[in-house]
Structure formats: structure tokens, C-alpha cells
Structure 1
Amino acid sequence: MTLSERVKTLQPSPTLALAAKAKALAAEGRDLVAFTAGEPDFDTPAEIVEAAVQALREGKTRYTPSGGIPELRRAVAAMINRDRGLSWSEKNVHIASGAKQALYHLFQALLDPGDEVIVPTPYWVSYPEQIHLAGGVPVFVPTRPEDGYKLTPEALERAIGPRTKAFVLNSPSNPTGAMYTEEELFGLFSVLVHRPVWIIADEIYERLVYDGPHTSIIAVDPQAVERTVIVSGVSKTYAMTGWRIGWAAAADERLIRALDDLASQSTSNPTTFAQYGALAAVTMDPAPVAAMVEAFRRRRDLIVERIAGVPGLRAFRPSGAFYLWVDVREAMERQGFPDADRWAAALLEEAGVVVVPGSGFGDAGHVRLSFALGEAAIEEGVRRLAAFVGRRREV
């Protein structure tokens, strides 16, 4: 008996795999500092938890519509309308079992075999695999540090071909934390305005920003509304990663119905009581989120400063999310490592520091450090990292 070709070539998520490995080693008693977590280290706010518990007490444990409870769909639409000046309704929102599932269903709904999707690099690890699973072809377009790891209109123009079906825009970005300005987004849309290309705006980190407000590409031109799909969720903003509630929102109601239909044949519906928790999240007082963002801002400033003091490492200062994208090529060359994978493996073995190699993001010369951990852990982790870089001279 054999497995399908699609799963034979499927690459597991390196971020989840490393996080699991770090937890396993810690359970064995290893003294680790793990910079791997793609999730806030804060507890879910109490009022969200209580809303889910109350839903359980009220017997809200049965099936819901495949695209989510109407109350949550309306609340998400209202939030999008408020932030982006739209007038969408629940018919424009599909609730999924996490933003990742919303993206998976979105590629399934949009792509036919051979359709191309433009993906700027470095990219979030799941984009290429999800595109492949839908029969599509990811077209990788490198971004440069001198451009702030943001795609330029000229690079986007060169990447578009006759089979281009969609363009993935992740702002703020995982792994770099880069965030596009309104002017930059307008420049990108000016390339797409007369082309039948879907814009998949992954905005899961839209609330976790430190250098000015977040701007969505859907707000830069009225024509952008008809071809943009917003993907987001409660995972990062409200420290609800394990709750698995996200959404896709679009002006095209036909697309939303297609996503609902796909869900009806896969998960049936997102977890019912978790949806009521998410409803409390998107309608709650923003103070707890503001406090979390301020804590991340302090950690961002701390880790940028500390890494800047380590010879051989160069870090990009992120404007959003909670990741630091670090160029380790000089350190690798000095120490004799051929790529970041083996450099990171040695760092774990010898220093007890866990980072995510950049190969999973499309760049083997970098690593990603999450600063979703306490300031004392950041200080200790960078101290160990500096000692490792300073003492190792050969493989």
C-alpha cells in the first residue's frame, strides 16, 4: 500500500516541529531558552475564557453553521468595517478553525492545477505547502533588507505571468516583522489594478504593531475591495492560539459560500464554544491587548539592542509581530557551518538555545527568534548565543 504523491512531498511545519522538540527536551530536564514560539506567552484574557465556559454551561456544544455562528460573523464584519471603512455583513465573513485553515480552504477554492501564486520571500512556512496541496505553483520573489524586506512594485511586475492567480501579502510579516506603509501598498496595487489577480492579505498580526498604525491594502483604493481576501483571527492578538478560530473575509459572497461549503466537507464547523470565546474577544475592551502590545514593544527593543552587540549577527528591526529575523551568515562562515540548519542544531546542542532556521522560510542564511518570552529569558538566551558565537571556531 502506498501513500499519495501529495503527502510524499509534503514538508511538515518546521516551526511547530522545533517548538515540539523544545518542549520535549525541556520535559526531559534540559535547561533551554526557546526562541521558537509563534504564540504569545500571555494567558487568554479572563473574560474570553469565561464566555467560552458560559457557552458550555448553556449547552452550546452542538453543530453550528459550517462558516461559523452568525453573531461572530457579524462581529468580525463590524470590526473590519470600523477599521477599513467598509459596509460588509456576515455574508462577507467565513469563520474557520484558525487562520491557517482559512488559508488552506482559500487556496483550494481559488486554484486550479498549474495556477501560480506570487509569494515574497522570506515567507511564512505554510504558504508553499498549502499552494502545492491545491495543485498550484508558488512563485517566489525575493525581498531585500535594503527595501525593508518588502516587495517592490517593480519586482511584483516582473513576477506576474499568464498563469498568475493570486498574490500573498503578509503584513506585518512572519518571519521578518516588516510592515507595509500606505504608500507602498498603493504602489503594489497599481501593478495589479488592471490584472485579474486575487490579493490574499494575511493580516494575522495586524494588532501587534509598534511603529505606526497598520494599513490594509484593501483600504488604499476602492478597486482593491473587490479582489482582496482578508485572512486573520484571534490567535495572536488575544493569546488564543490553541482555540483555533480565524476567518477569511471578502466582498465576493460567492467565494465566502465556497469556503463554507469546503468546511462543511472537512471540519463541519469550528469548535462551537471556542466561537463564543472569540465573539467575546473581538467585542471586548482593548486594554488587555494594548498591555500585551506594550510588553512586546519593550521586548522588541531589548532583543534588538542585545543582538546588535553580538559580532557576526545582524538583525532586522521589526515593525510588527513578535519575531526577530537575524542574518547569521557572517557567524556561520567564521564558525565553519554550511547553513543555518546545522548552525542552529549546534546552538541547541551546545548552548541550549532553540531558534528556527531560515530554510523553512526560504532563506538558509538567517534564523528567526521569537521574542514572545520574558525579558529575563531574552537576556539569558542572547548571553548564551553570544558565548556560542564567540567560542566556536570549527565544526
Structure 2
Amino acid sequence: MVPPVKHRLSERARAVVPSLIRDASRYCDELGALNLAQGLPDFAAPAFLKEAAQRAIAADRNQYCDPWGLAQLREAIAAKCARDNALAVDPATQVTVCCGATEGLNLALMALLDPGDEVVVFSPFYENYRPNLATVEAKPRYVPLSAPDWRVDEAVLERAFAGTAPRAVIVNNPANPTGKVWSRQELELVARYCERYDAYAITDEIYEYILYDGAEHISLAALAGMAERTVTVSGLSKTFCVTGWRLGYVIASEPLTAAIRRLHDFLTICAPAPMQHAAVAALEAPADYYADLRRLYQAKRDRLVTALYRSGFEPVRPAGAYYVWTDAGVLGAKNALEAAGRLAIEAGIAAVPGDCFLPPGHPNCNLRFCYAKSDQTLAAAVERLDRWSGHG
């Protein structure tokens, strides 16, 4: 009889836990719950973008392209950075197109960090940051921020940089799950501390165009002295409702880009070729497209936040991105996992428990809702909330 294999998993594999966001999506079908958990827009992508993709596929743009990214796309990204981010970027030496912002963030961490290096992570944080850091054996240095404005001041940064200087700091702007949009003053503070302690900044700017109430997006790399020590990660998935296309990009100085490109080449070779051709059309969208996008999501935000208040939740109104972070004490649960389960069963709505956005073991009863949904889905969610809370 052949003995069973005793698998020996790496420390990295053991450190990565399953995604609570994807878990919430999986049980929607089982429970018949509306998916307000994962950032999956259930409405159509722009027609001009789909038509460009269809043309690219019909023209057999199906083989590997330059691992650095299609030259025409890198040029369009550089032009977009000059227009919208006040960044002077060389498309030949400073832009890398990759498989989503998720790969872009991993590439930045792989290029900059060694095992044991510490990275400042502001909490609440995007779920991916913990496993991303685990895969490079770096250590998160969690720094809590407080609702409702999640303000970063001198005292916060003193805590963040106390003791041994961190190797890097992650800035998510606008932030998932809180919707925080960083002010210029906050970013200037981060820049000052990065320069003082010789730390890198890694910015996750995937929601840069989804802003409300006159909020302004500022790229940290555009501040004086930060271009050489910032890796900017962004992409097209959120702005153009194509999360499955996996198109992201990384902007960095030439030496950092050279390292990022080597890693990317042997990790995924290149992002999907026909989608890259289509993305050129996306980046040529007129200014009206972005204004319409903000109006669309602001209306969705206001609709869901109002319904949550009415149902007894305590949501924090986001200034950007398309999520609502809320206290879920109204559910009477002992923790966030139980709260999410009760909401899915009792109201038929799936949200993400706050555990995956907070340091391990952090007690909480928070939920994150996503409102990147069709008007029909949101109307059904509001009706279910009202019926559950007795307001229907």
C-alpha cells in the first residue's frame, strides 16, 4: 500500500488565508443573496471599449506582445499621467503594463522588499495587502486610522515610523474599504517622512477617477522629491467596468522599472494582448466620460448610504471608490463574521465582514458594502433592507 503524501507547504502558502471577499460572492447563489460584497459591476462596460476589443480579436491580436506592454498603450498611459496626475513619465523606461493592479502591487513589493522588511499599512486596508506582503515574507506595520475622516497627521506618522525605519509605506488613494481620499497636506506629510527615513512609497490608485463632492485625487509621485521613491500602481478595471480584463500598470523611476519588468516577464510574460489594444481606446475617452462616471457612482452611493442609515447601520460616507464601511451593531451579532452571515440569511444581502480589512485578531462588527451595481440591483437591495428593518 502506498503511504499518503505528507505535503510540506511553504511558510508563504501557510500565511495566506482564503479571501473573505470571494467567499462572500460564492455563498450568494447558495443563499439567494444579492452580491453587495465583491467589486463586480453588474452593468455594461462602455460600448466604445467593447467594440475596440472586438476589432482587436478580429484582427488576430492574439499572441504575446512586448512584456513591458504594448508601446502604443504605454504612450497613452504616459499621456494620461501628464494630463491627469501631473507626472512626467517616459513610456519607454518608466511604464510597465501588467495583469491587473493586483500583479502591479506584487511586482512593486517583490522589487523593493527582502524577507523581514517592514511596511507601513494604514488600517482599515485592502484585503490583498496582507497576503501580498506574506508572499515576499515582509512584515506589515499596522497603523490604525479613525472614522469618519481617517485623518493622517504628524502623530499618526510618528507612530508609523517609530523605532526601526520601515522600508516602505502603502498609500491607497482613494482607499478601499473606507473611501478615504488623501488630502495634499496628508500626502506632503507622508513624503516628508519617506524622505527623512529613506523609505519608498507604493501607491494603489486604482480608484483615482471615482471621487465625490468635489474631492481631488493627487498622486504622491507628483510631489517634490517623490518621483524617484514612489511606485504608482493603477489600472483600467474600475474606471471602465472591466475587472475581468486584468489590465493594470506600474509607474516608477527607470532603475525600479527595470527590476519590475524583469519580474513581470518571468511571472506572467504579458497582460492579455487584445485587451491592451482595446485599452488604448479607453485612455482616449473624453473628459465627459469621467464626469459621468462620478455622477453615476455618487447617485449610487447616496442611495445605498441613505438606506443603510434608515435600517439602523452607521455607515461612513465615502469620498471616493465605490464601497461603504459601516458599523453593523444593529444586527446584534458578536462579531463581523456573524453579522455578515445574519445579513445574508435574514435580509438576503451579502456584504464583506470587516476582519479581512483589519489586523489579525482585531475585534470588530464592521461590514463593507459595494455599490458598483445596476440600478435594478440597488433597488432590490434597498427594498430588502427596508423590509428587514421594518421600514418597507
TM-score after normalising by structure 2? 0.91
**Pairing 1:330-341 to 2, within 5 Å after superposition:** 331-332=330-331, 335=332, 337-341=333-337
| Distance in 2 separating the partners of 1:153 and 1:202 | 22
3-state secondary structure, aligned to 1:326: strand
1:302 alignment counterpart: 303
Q: Which moved more, 1:51-60 or 1:315-324?
A: 51-60
Structure 2 residue identity aligned to 1:366 = N
3-state secondary structure, aligned to 1:177: coil
CA displacement, residues 330-360 of structure 1 (integer Å, 9 cap, x when unaligned):
x25xx2x220101111221222111111001
CA RMSD after TM alignment: 1.9
Of residues 348, 354, 358, the one that matches 2:354 is 358
Of residues 123, 142, 145, the one that matches 1:143 is 145
Q: 1:137 to 1:247 in 2, by over 3 A?
A: same
| Distance in 2 separating the partners of 1:85 and 1:193 | 20
The answer to whether the Cα contact below 8 Å between 1:39 and 1:236 also exists between their aligned partners in 2 is no
| Distance in 2 separating the partners of 1:242 and 1:170 | 21
Q: Give structure 1 regions of 4+ aligned residues with deviation exceeding 6 angstroms.
A: none
Cα displacement (A) at 1:70: 1.2
| Distance in 2 separating the partners of 1:205 and 1:11 | 25
2:63 alignment counterpart: 62
2:33 alignment counterpart: 32
Cα displacement (A) at 1:122: 0.4
3-state secondary structure, aligned to 1:104: helix
Cα displacement (A) at 1:387: 4.9
3-state secondary structure, aligned to 1:41: coil
| Distance in 2 separating the partners of 1:202 and 1:378 | 27
| Distance in 2 separating the partners of 1:258 and 1:21 | 40
Structure 2 residue identity aligned to 1:7 = A
3-state secondary structure, aligned to 2:102: helix
Q: Which moved more, 1:44-53 or 1:260-269?
A: 44-53
Q: Which moved more, 1:341-350 or 1:183-192?
A: 183-192
| Distance in 1 separating the partners of 2:270 and 2:202 | 22
The answer to whether the Cα contact below 8 Å between 2:325 and 2:369 also exists between their aligned partners in 1 is yes
Q: 1:153 to 1:67 in 2, by over 3 A?
A: farther
Cα displacement (A) at 1:189: 2.1
The answer to whether the Cα contact below 8 Å between 2:87 and 2:221 also exists between their aligned partners in 1 is no
Question: How many residues align structurally?
Answer: 378
The answer to whether the Cα contact below 8 Å between 1:205 and 1:321 also exists between their aligned partners in 2 is yes
CA displacement, residues 98-135 of structure 1 (integer Å, 9 cap, x when unaligned):
00011111111111010001000000000011011101
The answer to whether the Cα contact below 8 Å between 1:238 and 1:281 also exists between their aligned partners in 2 is yes
2:97 is equivalent to residue 95 of structure 1: yes
Cα displacement (A) at 1:385: 3.4
| Distance in 2 separating the partners of 1:378 and 1:62 | 40
CA displacement, residues 175-206 of structure 1 (integer Å, 9 cap, x when unaligned):
01110111222233222232211111111000
2:17 alignment counterpart: 11
**Pairing 1:229-240 to 2, within 5 Å after superposition:** 229-240=231-242
Cα displacement (A) at 1:388: 4.2
| Distance in 2 separating the partners of 1:247 and 1:83 | 15
Q: Which moved more, 1:48-57 or 1:171-180?
A: 48-57
2:350 is equivalent to residue 347 of structure 1: no
Q: Which ranges of structure 2 fall in alignment gaps of 5 or more residues?
A: 1-5
| Distance in 1 separating the partners of 2:276 and 2:344 | 38
The answer to whether the Cα contact below 8 Å between 1:67 and 1:259 also exists between their aligned partners in 2 is no
Q: Which moved more, 1:298-307 or 1:240-249?
A: 298-307
1:20 alignment counterpart: 26
The answer to whether the Cα contact below 8 Å between 2:34 and 2:377 also exists between their aligned partners in 1 is yes
TM-score after normalising by structure 1? 0.90
2:173 is equivalent to residue 171 of structure 1: yes
3-state secondary structure, aligned to 1:103: helix
3-state secondary structure, aligned to 1:65: coil
Q: Which moved more, 1:89-98 or 1:161-170?
A: 161-170
Structure 2 residue identity aligned to 1:77 = A
The answer to whether the Cα contact below 8 Å between 1:33 and 1:354 also exists between their aligned partners in 2 is yes
| Distance in 1 separating the partners of 2:152 and 2:99 | 29
Cα displacement (A) at 1:208: 0.6
1:47 alignment counterpart: 48
1:80 alignment counterpart: 81
| Distance in 1 separating the partners of 2:165 and 2:18 | 27
3-state secondary structure, aligned to 2:300: helix
The answer to whether the Cα contact below 8 Å between 2:237 and 2:246 also exists between their aligned partners in 1 is yes
**Pairing 1:229-308 to 2, within 5 Å after superposition:** 229-250=231-252, 252-308=253-309
Of residues 125, 128, 150, the one that matches 2:127 is 125
| Distance in 1 separating the partners of 2:383 and 2:48 | 38
Structure 2 residue identity aligned to 1:13 = S
Cα displacement (A) at 1:59: 2.2
User: Identity over aligned residues, as a percent?
Assistant: 33
| Distance in 1 separating the partners of 2:69 and 2:241 | 20
Q: Which ranges of structure 1 fall in alignment gaps of 5 or more residues?
A: none
| Distance in 1 separating the partners of 2:64 and 2:374 | 39
CA displacement, residues 31-69 of structure 1 (integer Å, 9 cap, x when unaligned):
432211313333221221222222222222111121211
CA displacement, residues 14-44 of structure 1 (integer Å, 9 cap, x when unaligned):
212212332x33xxxx543221131333322
| Distance in 2 separating the partners of 1:215 and 1:254 | 24
Cα displacement (A) at 1:370: 0.6
